[in-house]
Amino acid sequence: GGKACLAMNSPGVEGKRDDGHGTDGGRSTYLKWLPCFRPYRGENGKYYPLREVVSSAPFSTDEDLKHRHEYGSNFIRTTRYRWWNFLFKNLFEQFQKAANFYFLIMAIITSVPGVSTIPPYATITPLAFVLAVTAIKDGIDDYKRGRNDSEVNARRTEVLKPGGGTTALTWQDLQVGHVVKVFQDGIFPADLVLLASSTPNGECGIQTANLDGETNIKGRQAVKDTAKMTTEELASPGRLRVLCERPHTGKTFEGRLLIGAENDKSFPLNGDNILLRGAMLKETKFIYGLVIYTGSQTKVILHNDPPRFKRSHMDDIMNQQMYLIFLLQFCIVFTATVLSGWFFVNRGRNHWYLGIEDDSVSAGTTTALRNFFAFYVLLSVMVPISLYVSMELVRVGQAILINVDNRMWDPEDGKFAQARSTTLSEELGQIQYIFSDKTGTLTSNQMAFEKSSILGKLYGCNEVNAKLEAKASLFTAGGSPRRNADKEILLGEGGQTSIQNSRSVLNEQQVVSRGISEDHIEIDGDPRYCNMNDPQLRRALMDDYPGARDYVLALALCQTVQVSEIPDRPGKVQYQGESTDEVALVTMASMHGVRFLEKKRNEVTLWVPWIPDSGGNREGKRKGRMLGSAVVFKILHVLAFTSDRKRMSVLVLFPDGSIRVFTKGADNVMKNIAAKNKAVNSTNVLDKTESHLFQFSREGLRVMLVGQRHLDTKEYESWSTRYEEASHSFADAKGNRKDKMERIAAEIEQNLQILGVTAIEDKLQDGVPLTLKLLKRAGIKIWVLTGDKQNTAVNIGKSCGLIGWDYQLVYIRSKQPSECKEEMLATLEALEDSDSDEAALMVSGDSLKAALLPGNNGTLFDVMNHRKIKVVVASRMTPRQKREIVTLVKDRLGVVTLAIGDGANDVSMIRAAHIGVGIRGKEGMQAANSSDYAISKFRFLAQLLLVHGGLSYQRNSTLILYFFYKNVMMAVQQVYFIFVSGYSSGEVFDGYMLNTFNLCWTSLPILFFSVFDRPANVDELIEFPQLYFPGLRSEFFNFRTFWISFGEAVIHGSVVWLVVWWTMHDVFDSYWTSSVATYTSIVIVANIKMAMITTTWFWFNALIIILTVLVYFGYIFLHCGPIGFSFSPWLFGVINQVMLEPMFYLATLWLATCVVLQDFMVAYIQRLTNPSLQMLVQECRGDTIKKQNLKIALYESVPQKGIWMNERGKPTGQKVKEQKMKMLAT
């Protein structure tokens, strides 16, 4: 029945084209309701129609077959634009920004004749400049993408031709159905099903560094029947057919391979049979693969979706102020419009310069309407159009400083920190919550096997290791010397034999009588992965102590580690695994005699020390005393580890015909599937095991339980039949293939005998305790979200200083929704009644399932955000739960969040946070590639936040305030001019002056300031992490500071107006002379203001300000001088009158003095009455005693707790204030 169904389903399942919508291929619609025609449902629950791929279909003469494989070419295009739509599309995208659209409207208004007195170029030129700069940047980026696309599309690969031979095709000419040949170190040109390789078993190694950054070698396997086919058979049109799901972004792959024209044989396909585009062939001479997905339908292209756009909080605040400015601008314009209409009708004829001939109400109304738009254009200078471009340039400069910071360079990988986003630099200075992974983030992810417990007996404890040191010479004599080479063991030789009853083969009496001890076991391994070298365990293996052999065999067999010979080093092999945990487990077995030698298709070869050599062990003869023999175990099934299952199992056929299941996994999962029969798991052993498990986790070790189960042949055959059926299935009412296989896998993983516990040490990274201490003192809350056991996470938290030893530990353990809510409510009451001021919340992933339900998550949030909860440690977390926690805090509190991790399971959390930081680790580059900032070590986070974040926030705040300050000063002149000129729509400044003000005379100084200014140096920012507080409270840029700066600009602008237009009214004999004098005064005042806010002077800061002023006077002499270069005839010779008038110099000096004195007075009063910490730190420079007094004020005023902070985040405590005053007085 299955074969018939497949035969019916094969032709035309998908229709002629794979356009993403699917067709029924001309069949009757009722067929789609048959089980074999139902669409495939992916792991995300979505349904995908099936796809049929026929080998060598593009070469077929069957037109129907060729048409059914028109799935699209392998040509890729990652560019955003085409040459013919670049201008239109780019402009459309840029005008999505509110500011650009605003100035576009202003430009249109100025272009309407008779509406505005400002020439069109005055508004069009700055807008065009901003648009052009952005378009050039976008165009260059897109050109680079297009050039890379062309290089990739032009690559060539070999394709098998029907009948034999190959032909070379470019990648862009590949089609679905082609059978390609890829050589070693070649990159796969499309998504392929592995058919055969240079190895007899059809195996190959691949490296996915181009996809996820992982450099370890992963194994892939061809179906055994195709692995033996000749090239003519592989390339025969229609001989091979693949039925699989349509292209989708899911990480899994499910399909079937049908062999023969009548679909005689069917084999399941999964991710182990797929070679993804972009991966590289390694350790295999060549492979043959069938193209199933091409071009934009390959996994790597489908996963290239742009990340979620992130915008900083500063941008949001700035946009809010912009709306208020628009409202203010409208109020001014509306008021001036109404008054202009009234003035036109009642007093207009008395003012000749208005040119009024008809002062009727209708004429006044018309003029007022025209003036409405004219006033809007005149006051548009209030909004600095160049601010957005300047912010982008400054952020790029700040990102470059991050990329070249020597303090964030890691000597191990030779890499600097990387700013992958250039729009969030100031956000780094406002982080309030950090969500951190543990393994590989706080710890080094350098796993080393530390201790074990086998059926209640401890191995690897300190006293055992102490005895081991005395036998170091024997250990090295028994095998090869301990060495530091990467993942090496010595590959032994010998024959293969079967395993008999171990006690009958070699018992204790035989060992003693033959003069052989545990030191005769050949052991070797990379000591970086195993700190445990226990002679008692080796003796237990030789004596067949209960459970010891089964335990070590489980570690050596239940793994996915790859073993390969090291090039140019014969006889030596290296272990590589997707997880360093597995490498540590295999190394532990190797260092105690059970060495992993070789892995073939479904076979694993181990060197087993307690099996006597059958005579072929040349190595044993050579050394004279080594025991053991190579034994081949057949791996029947591998039940892979997933984050949902939290365990891995292998079904192993022993040489004597017995079958066993070996399982390893998280303790909370393994306890549920352990046998309840006391004959299998005695209460005494389980109690000891539980005690050891608790002891290991208290020491901060990563723990895992190991179990086994013996199967009889009938039980295995019944289970295997159902498992194979599930592996061939597609989606139906019972679920998809993955669900079915996991359900059936769970049936065999029951009634396990618990063999023992593995304890792996994952040491803290260097500098983690200090980094956490600095971040906590900076006022940042830190939560740890990990997949480890709760006790392990808690003790790691204590060892790194995240959890104080005097903290009250609060637990949420309930797994039922109603009980969980009651427990959380009780926890809130307990926290209120507690005498402790600081507490840490502990919650597990199982409890979070109940706590995160809609009716409970609010209570959970109240507990997590309680004032006494300083740290939250969430254990046994899934990636989804990590994301939900981050989202909950972010949405409920409205705080700025940062998530940091190093693995693929941290990607969703990193993307959910405001700032995502990825650590380049041993788990690959997926976290780093999904992040906004990538670093190599956790300790660099302090430098990233406290230094770059804190400085960028303060600099960018000043940048925004300064831009509005200088533009508002300009706008004030126009407002006054409107009201004193009879509400005319005349401009106070020439159009060229307006254009050059922002672009030339006030831009460079603030740009250099925003990149290089340092109100506190790097050492001070680390030494006094409390300098980060202003960012937490948005002190430098908020509603208050913005409008204070706005008011200051209004005052300074008013002073300029009064001095130039009123006190010098009789001095200058023309309106344009006063205009140039005013403009020059504003340029000078703006640059003096820039000098006043600069806190760190470099030689180029002073040079740029001086050159800006000097170049300005050169420009103004050309533009308004007697030489005649001006495009504005009315300005001819004006500068002569200005520069020859002594009153101008006196007025300018007086204006500069006002600005300087005001800033000095404000700073002086603040330092005297309420100095900021930044001011205090500046006062301490070069004075060790003052600096020590300040540290006392900050740290010792509150015993051992750092600074207390109230709900608004401000330091409290009278003693702190007294210390400040005392230090200032001294």
Write the pLDDT tens digit of every residue in 838-877.
888 888 888 888 888 888 888 888 888 888 888 889 888 8
Angle between helices 313-347 and 950-980 (to 10 degrees): 0
The pLDDT confidence band at residue 1200, using thresholds 50, 70 and 90, is: very low
User: Is residue 733 predicted with pLDDT exceeding 60?
Assistant: no
User: Is residue 901 predicted with pLDDT exceeding 50?
Assistant: yes
User: Is residue 428 predicted with pLDDT exceeding 50?
Assistant: yes
Its pTM stands at 0.75
CATH 3.40.50.1000 assigned to 406-442+778-939: yes
Q: Give whichever of 42-56, 64-78, 768-782 has the largest mean pLDDT.
A: 768-782
What per-residue confidence (pLDDT) applies to 999?
Answer: 84
Q: Which residues contact 799 (CB under 8 A, 6 or more apart)?
A: 700, 764, 769
| 461 to 456, 582, 761, 834: CA distances (angstroms) | 13, 21, 13, 38
The pLDDT confidence band at residue 38, using thresholds 50, 70 and 90, is: very low
Q: Per-residue pLDDT tens for 305-351? A: 555 667 788 988 888 898 899 899 999 999 999 888 887 777 655 65
> Is 354 within 8 Å of 368 (Cβ atoms)?
no
Q: Which of 18, 191, 315, 437 is catalytic?
A: 437
Q: Which residues contact 1121 (CB under 8 A, 6 or more apart)?
A: 1133, 1135, 1136
| 1219 to 779, 1020, 1215: CA distances (angstroms) | 20, 19, 6
Residue numbering of the annotated binding site for Mg(2+): 437, 439, 902, 906
What per-residue confidence (pLDDT) applies to 973?
Answer: 92
CATH architecture group of domain 2-74+174-302:
Distorted Sandwich (2.70)
pLDDT, greater one: 806 or 710: 710
User: Is residue 618 predicted with pLDDT exceeding 50?
Assistant: no
What per-residue confidence (pLDDT) applies to 355?
Answer: 60
Active-site annotation holds for 212 = no
What per-residue confidence (pLDDT) applies to 894?
Answer: 87
The Cα–Cα gap between 923 and 602 comes to 26
Q: Of the ranges 10-24, 317-331, 961-975, which one carries the lowest mean pLDDT score?
A: 10-24
Burial of 802 (0-12, 13-18, 19+ CB in 10 A): buried
The Cα–Cα gap between 36 and 731 comes to 9
Q: Of the ranges 142-146, 242-246, 518-522, 659-663, which one carries the lowest mean pLDDT score?
A: 518-522
What per-residue confidence (pLDDT) applies to 697?
Answer: 83
> Is 759 within 8 Å of 452 (Cβ atoms)?
yes
DSSP 408-432: G-BTTTTB--EE--SS-TGGGGG--
With vertex at residue 355, the alpha carbon angle to CA 354 and CA 359, rounded to the nearest 5 degrees, is 90
The pLDDT confidence band at residue 367, using thresholds 50, 70 and 90, is: confident
Q: Which residue intervals of 785-895 are DSSP H helices?
A: 790-799, 817-833, 845-851, 857-864, 879-893
User: Is residue 118 predicted with pLDDT exceeding 60?
Assistant: yes
The pLDDT confidence band at residue 466, using thresholds 50, 70 and 90, is: very low
What's the chain's average pLDDT?
80
> Is 629 within 8 Å of 617 (Cβ atoms)?
yes
| 545 to 148, 542, 548: CA distances (angstroms) | 62, 8, 6
What per-residue confidence (pLDDT) applies to 621?
Answer: 37
What per-residue confidence (pLDDT) applies to 358?
Answer: 61
What per-residue confidence (pLDDT) applies to 263?
Answer: 65
Q: State the span(s) of the chain assigned CATH 3.40.1110.10.
A: 443-759
What per-residue confidence (pLDDT) applies to 992?
Answer: 82
Query: Residue 565 corresponds to which amino acid?
Result: E
What per-residue confidence (pLDDT) applies to 712?
Answer: 92
CATH 3.40.1110.10 assigned to 443-759: yes
Q: Which residues contact 575 (CB under 8 A, 6 or more apart)?
A: 487, 489, 526, 561, 562, 563, 583, 586, 587, 596
The pLDDT confidence band at residue 15, using thresholds 50, 70 and 90, is: very low
In the structure encoding, which two tokens stand for residue 188, read together? 């796969």
Q: What value does the mean pLDDT take over residues 1201-1205? A: 35
Q: Of the ranges 475-484, 557-566, 999-1008, which one carries the lowest mean pLDDT score?
A: 475-484
Q: Per-residue pLDDT tens for 1056-1105? A: 988 887 777 666 667 788 888 899 999 999 999 999 999 888 888 899 99
In the structure encoding, which two tokens stand for residue 191, read together? 């998504």
Residue with tokens 């983030």: 441
Q: What value does the mean pLDDT take over residues 1035-1042? A: 93
pLDDT, greater one: 565 or 133: 133
pLDDT, greater one: 1062 or 81: 81
User: Is residue 45 predicted with pLDDT exceeding 60?
Assistant: no
Q: State the span(s) of the chain assigned CATH 3.40.50.1000.
A: 406-442+778-939
What per-residue confidence (pLDDT) applies to 276?
Answer: 93
* Strand blocks (E) in 578-718: 595-599, 603-608, 629-639, 647-653, 659-665, 702-711
Question: Coil, strand, or helix at residue 488?
Answer: strand
The Cα–Cα gap between 1030 and 955 comes to 12
Percent of the chain with pLDDT strictly greater than 90: 29
Q: What value does the mean pLDDT take over residues 1141-1152? A: 84
What per-residue confidence (pLDDT) applies to 689?
Answer: 93
User: Is residue 640 predicted with pLDDT exceeding 90?
Assistant: no
The pLDDT confidence band at residue 625, using thresholds 50, 70 and 90, is: very low
Residue 282: how many other CB atoms lie within 10 Å: 18
First to last CA, the chain: 95
What per-residue confidence (pLDDT) applies to 494?
Answer: 32
User: Is residue 1176 predicted with pLDDT exceeding 50?
Assistant: yes
User: Is residue 1184 predicted with pLDDT exceeding 70?
Assistant: yes
The Cα–Cα gap between 754 and 671 comes to 9
Q: Of the ranges 74-78, 445-449, 576-580, which one carries the lowest mean pLDDT score?
A: 576-580
User: Is residue 464 predicted with pLDDT exceeding 60?
Assistant: no
What per-residue confidence (pLDDT) applies to 165?
Answer: 87
Q: Which residues pair with 191 in a beta bridge?
A: 293
Q: State the span(s) of the chain assigned CATH 2.70.150.10.
A: 2-74+174-302
